[in-house]
Amino acid sequence: MSRTAISPIHTIQDELKALFDDRITLNPGVCNNHGRGEGPMASLPPDAVVFPITTTEVSVLAKLCNKARVPIIPFGVGTSLEGHVAAPQGGVCVDFAQMNNVLAVNTNDMDAVVQPGVTRKQLNSYIRDTGLFFPVDPGADASIGGMTATRASGTSTVRYGSMKDNVIALEVVMADGSIIKTASRARKSAAGYDLTHLMIGSEGTLGIITEITVKLHGIPEAVVAAACPFPTIDKAVKCVITAIQMGIPMARMELLDETSMAAVNAYSKLDYTVAPTLFLEFEGSPNSVKEQVETLINIAQDLGANDFQWADKPEDRSRLWAARHDMYYAGLAYRPGSESLTTDVCVPISNLAQSIHQTHNTLAASSITGLILGHVGDGNYHTLLLFDPNDPEQNTEAQRINKTIVEQALALDGTCTGEHGVGMGKRHYLKQELGKGAVAMMTNIKQSLDPNNILNPEKIISLNEMGKDQR
């Protein structure tokens, strides 16, 4: 993509330097590193990177940039996949690395107030002695600001929900520099429009998140993990549906397909059966876990699955889960030199087996290798589409398959993105998924809250493409 506007950053360069002193850089290398996340997209660097330490600084920055029409792109740790941190119109990247303090931990209320640069592992390490933990786990050690902005979720979402379910309140700097509190710290409220949820998943396009109040949960007394191969994907999915319907409060339910298991074995020198495999976790009181495990074994056995591997000690569980957590790298290693275009569809769980079948069929008819892994308890799965970045035809083919997978999932009443967000990569699917009216409504909201389009422009909605169909 070429830049659609030249950022007039030079008009405020002196003021920025006065404001941030040695916490601003225009170094091309640093800017380049801030212009891309972990997806396969090329970097679109900002003109400058600043490192604020207070909300007030962010507010002053917004006022400056709003007046001068300079884009602002918030940046956590850069692990997003859909071009969320790209700066297609240049501008100022706001790196929250130095706003990384845990501001309060309220153990009785089971909540914590953090700055956006705090990562999920940092928070969990900070609160280790309280008996509480923060559950949302997207794999990467993402910043909580970034996870909020992209409505992230992960392996524990089937039990604890996504960021949408674990954020109580936000402080947000709006485009005009005003500082907003979206909600009180009370656990529930019916006080007007739900500004908290409007900001969660808005990807920095409506406001800049400067403080997050998150829910914490009690560390369970007992945890048991298991891996079990199934004769078919259908039977693995059936096991998941039955477990949920029977009310087993599963902590994690992850599926890896045959190819993924082959990749995992090769990468980690393991000898798992090469078959569709469920990775499961149970938690609760020791008795409750025992009961959950027994029920799950009965369900699985009825579906022809018997070969459980169990792990209850922390180190054994870590080893068992390593297979799942290393999947991305195992995938890349499966086709050396490849990059991954990672799909993220989510469908109603009753359509999940069909969706995965369709994807398998699409992959079988393609030259591209694809590995399927998923948060099957949520109906969400990823396909790692491995392509050679130096081969334009493979790149095109990966894009085509992604499109097919998305369109088939939409036809099954699903979404193009379960958890990665829209960014620039999925923008053109929004209208297809939700219709013209919903996108027009999003555009109205964007324009009313950011009339000069300075907040992370070109993400979720492209105002440059208004009036014509998005790709």
Q: Among residue numbers 87 through 106, which ones bind a copy of itself (CB under 8 A)?
A: 106
206 near a copy of itself, rule: CB under 8 A: yes
| Interface residue with a copy of itself, options 66, 119, 162, 342 (CB under 8 A) | 162
| Interface residue with a copy of itself, options 150, 342, 402, 462 (CB under 8 A) | 150
What is the nearest approach in angstroms of a copy of itself to the Cβ of residue 171? 10
DSSP 346: B
What is the nearest approach in angstroms of a copy of itself to the Cβ of residue 222? 11
Q: How far apart are CA 297 and CA 420, in angstroms?
A: 32
Q: 3-state DSSP call for residue 147?
A: helix
Site string for a copy of itself, 101-130 (x = CB under 8 A): -----xxxxxx-------------------
What is the nearest approach in angstroms of a copy of itself to the Cβ of residue 10? 30
Q: 3-state DSSP call for residue 35?
A: coil
Nearer residue to a copy of itself within complex by CB, 47 or 82: 82
Nearer residue to a copy of itself within complex by CB, 95 or 378: 378
Contacts of 301 (CB under 8 A, 6+ apart): none
What is the nearest approach in angstroms of a copy of itself to the Cβ of residue 286? 10
Q: 3-state DSSP call for residue 431?
A: helix
Beta strands at 179-181 and 208-215: parallel, antiparallel or unpaired? unpaired
| Interface residue with a copy of itself, options 194, 302, 307, 393 (CB under 8 A) | 194
What is the nearest approach in angstroms of a copy of itself to the Cβ of residue 339? 22
Token couple for 347: 């469908």
CB neighbours of residue 142 within 10 Å: 23
145 near a copy of itself, rule: CB under 8 A: no
How far from the centroid of its chain's Cα atoms is residue 198's Cα? 17
Name the segment binding a copy of itself (CB under 8 A); options: 86-94, 156-164, 361-369, 397-405. 156-164
Residue list 363-402, contact with a copy of itself (CB under 8 A): 378-380
Give per-residue burial for 209-233: e unless 16+ CB within 10 Å, then b. Answer: bbbbbbbbeeebeebbbbbbbbeeb
Name the segment binding a copy of itself (CB under 8 A); options: 48-56, 67-75, 182-190, 326-334. 182-190
Asked if 361 contacts 408 with a C-beta cutoff of 8 angstroms, the reply is no
Residue list 335-354, contact with a copy of itself (CB under 8 A): 344, 346-350
Q: How far apart are CA 199 and CA 172, in angstroms?
A: 8
Residue list 431-470, contact with a copy of itself (CB under 8 A): 433-435, 437-442, 444-449, 460-461
Q: How far apart are CA 85 and CA 76, in angstroms?
A: 9
What is the nearest approach in angstroms of a copy of itself to the Cβ of residue 149? 10
Name the segment binding a copy of itself (CB under 8 A); options: 188-196, 226-234, 267-275, 361-369. 188-196
Residue 451: is it exposed, middle or buried by C-beta count within 10 angstroms (0-12/13-18/19+)? exposed
Side chain identity, residue 438 = A
